[in-house]
Chains A and B, each alone.
Chain A
């Protein structure tokens, strides 16, 4: 079952990298409200799907944003249509300051950037504005990455494993921010931490071997221990071992 009037509708997404098929035809719908979780075991193709949607890797198929076909658009043009992206490795510019990292995400001519919201959610970013981003802890870098997605009036936020490698306290903080963000903007969340998924997700899509294995309301899958085990390889807790960094 797919959400009605999907904001993002991906059909038959195929990605070929170095002569190797990574995605074999992913179908994916992002609900117009709430959090849609993109799940799957390690190597299932979650990050490649996100990168394929954004055009960061060569792709084929169909990617419709609010009904508009975007598969032929270059990445920057698609993003400027209203997508905030926090990548798996955080995508921080280590040599730039926190303020410069945020300033880079501003979109001239697309409204006033919401620094007040970003600083309200992450007061630390205001205090550390002049600090070089490469010297931040993992959690602080994640705040910058998510802060950049909140700076503009986006139609969709894509967060790829935003809690990966973070200390439990920071995981909770990030989850709270995403929960609040999802009240205003739909979120496509790639996440390995099942506790975070249970807390946030309204819909979920499960990938296996570069294909869509399941799609539907989150409750339907996550409340069914057998289905969860079958599709994700786990019952409760995180999908994969986490290594917490020394986050402050």
Chain B
């Protein structure tokens, strides 16, 4: 029983991490038809920003208490800023050239890990975190790492915030409409480019937060972390239905749990294969993913 509880909480924690990356990825693709291969780089920037600040390089920030919160806020802010710059400087000039747009995001997705390797080396760096988050808590007989719970709570808060944004604000309304018919939104007199930048900022913020908290989950940061997580985030986006935040949340939980249980009860590594098989089967049965609609 305790093994199942531990696997479930670890799977949910991993699913929460996938959701933090996939939610923005899904909105960006749904609204803009942009496959953002640089999204993993935004996670890496968030992770390294947090690691850098928590390592004592940012005044006031540190590995414990309020200092760690400041470090997470710093990493998330840097990731968000990077996403805005990416949209304005790389994606926007290529709106009418989708092929070049994909190539450009692939380039950024490769360049950022290379840059991080160049500055801080290619080896994994130990991630400093508060003592309180490095321990475990008892749940139905299992000792569950606290950082899993932190990720789950963070993902739940992001999901709630995204649903409020999409459902209660005019910008959210524009995004939901834009996912359905971008040209018609423009024909109503709305500059949809503002929504594009906003969605990139939101996606970058969630991914960077994922990077910051992913450091707690993995206990370290390395330049390739974002890229390897991006693959599963794409699986989540396709499984959940392009443009659907709720679909991404459900799919992230399913993918995280399947991966953890398959890895434990079969052989290490088969969990990764299992989620790809799951995706293939789902696409055969439901080509638009679990929901195929937004939020």
A75 surroundings in chain B (CB, below 8 A): 183, 186-187
Chain B CB within 8 A of A148 CB: yes
B180-A94 in contact (CB<8A):
yes
Which residues in window 78-92 of B have CB below 8 A to A? Answer: none
Partner of A104, one of B177, B183, B293: B177
Q: Is B191 in contact with chain A by the CB < 8 A criterion?
A: yes
Question: Which chain B residues border A74 with CB–CB below 8 Å?
Answer: 186, 191
- B186–A93 touching, CB < 8 Å: no
User: Is B242 in the interface zone, CB < 8 Å from A?
Assistant: no
Question: How far does the Cβ of A66 sit from chain B's closest Cβ, in whole Å?
Answer: 16
In the complex, what residues of A have CB within 8 A of residue B191's CB?
74, 76-77
**From A74, A104, A148, residue with most partner B Cβ within 10 Å:** A104
- Is A79 a contact partner of B176 (Cβ separation < 8 A)? no
Residue B174 CB within 8 A of the other chain: yes
B177 near A80: Cβ-Cβ < 8 Å: no
Q: Report if A95-B189 is in contact (Cβ < 8 Å); known contacts: A87-B184, A103-B173.
A: no
A80 lies within 8 A of B184 (CB)? no
Whether B192 sits at the interface, judged by CB under 8 Å, is yes
- The distance in angstroms between the C-alpha atoms of A91 and B191, with both chains bound, is 17
One of A77, A94, A104, A108 near B188 (C-beta < 8 A): A104
Q: Is A156 an interface residue (CB 8 A)?
A: no
The CA-CA distance from A77 to B293 in the complex, in Å, is 29
B281 on the A face (CB < 8 A): no
B residues contacting the other copy or chain, number (CB 8 A)? 19
Render A89-121 as a binary contact track against B, CB cut-off 8 A, 1 for contact: 001011110001001110110000000000000
Distance between Cα atoms of A77 and B202 in the complex (Å): 25
Most buried by A among B174, B185, B294: B185
Rounded to whole angstroms, the CA-CA distance of A248 and B192 in the bound complex is 34
Say how far B248's CB is from chain A's closest CB, in angstroms. Answer: 16
Complex-state Cα separation, A75 to B186, whole angstroms? 6
Q: State whether the Cβ of B190 lies closer than 8 Å to any Cβ in chain A.
A: yes
Q: When the two chains form their complex, are residues B173 and A56 in contact, meaning their CB atoms are under 8 A apart?
A: no
CA distance A100 to B180 in the complex (A): 13
Contacts of B188 in A (CB 8 A): 76, 79, 85, 104-105, 148
Please tell me if the beta carbons of B293 and A95 are within 8 angstroms of each other in the complex: yes
Any chain A CB within 8 A of the CB of B181? yes
Which B residues from 155 to 211 make CB contacts under 8 A with A? 170, 173-174, 176-177, 180-181, 183-192
- Tell me which of A79, A91, A94, A103 contacts B189 (CB under 8 A): A79
Residues of A within 8 A of B (CB): 54, 56, 74-77, 79-80, 85, 87, 91, 93-96, 100, 103-105, 107-108, 148
Q: Which residues of B contact A (CB under 8 A)?
A: 170, 173-174, 176-177, 180-181, 183-192, 293-294
Closest 8 CB pairs of A and B: A79-B189, A91-B184, A80-B189, A75-B186, A93-B177, A76-B191, A93-B180, A76-B186
